[in-house]
Amino acid sequence: MINQVDIFKALANESRIQILEWLKNPEAHFSPQEGIDIGEVGVCVSQVTAKMNMDQSTTSQYLSILHRVGLINATRIGKWTYYKRNEEAINQVGLYLRKGE
């Protein structure tokens, strides 16, 4: 089970937060991918890499961190991996933060 500290460590990076923001509405931030509904399946690593203007290894590491703590889901189709926000997990983080109100 992932604890809150790990989630907040993952969110302690501006680029990872930016990825989550882009994945909230992928159609507005990424180009369509042939044969893939990016809103339903997710966005390919290469598209995130291009938008981040970073090397692929850094982008893959950021996506891996977000995936490991459950904030995004990964779907493998052929040789490609697509990433999508895990809205349920993100809502749980929001609920956790609101508990202190």
65-76: pLDDT as tens digits = 999 999 999 999
**CATH number of the domain within which 12 lies:** 1.10.10.10
Query: Which residues on neighbouring strands pair with residue 33, listed in sequence order?
Result: 36
Return the number of other C-beta atoms located less than 10 Å from residue 72's C-beta: 25
Three-state DSSP class for 99? coil
Do the beta carbons of residue 83 and residue 42 sit within 8 Å?
A: yes
What residues have CB less than 8 Å from 27, skipping those under 6 apart? 38, 39
Number of H helices, E strands in the chain: 6, 3
pLDDT tens for the chain, residues 1 to 101? 568 899 999 999 999 999 999 999 999 999 998 899 999 999 999 999 999 999 999 999 999 999 999 999 999 999 999 999 999 999 999 888 888 65
Residue 82: the pLDDT is 96
Which residue range(s) make up the domain with 45?
4-98
Residue 101: the pLDDT is 59
Which pTM was predicted?
0.92
| Count of the separate structural domains present in the chain | 1
Question: Where does residue 83 fall: left (phi above 0), alpha (psi -120 to 50 degrees), or beta otherwise?
Answer: beta
Residue 85: the pLDDT is 98
Residue 2: the pLDDT is 63
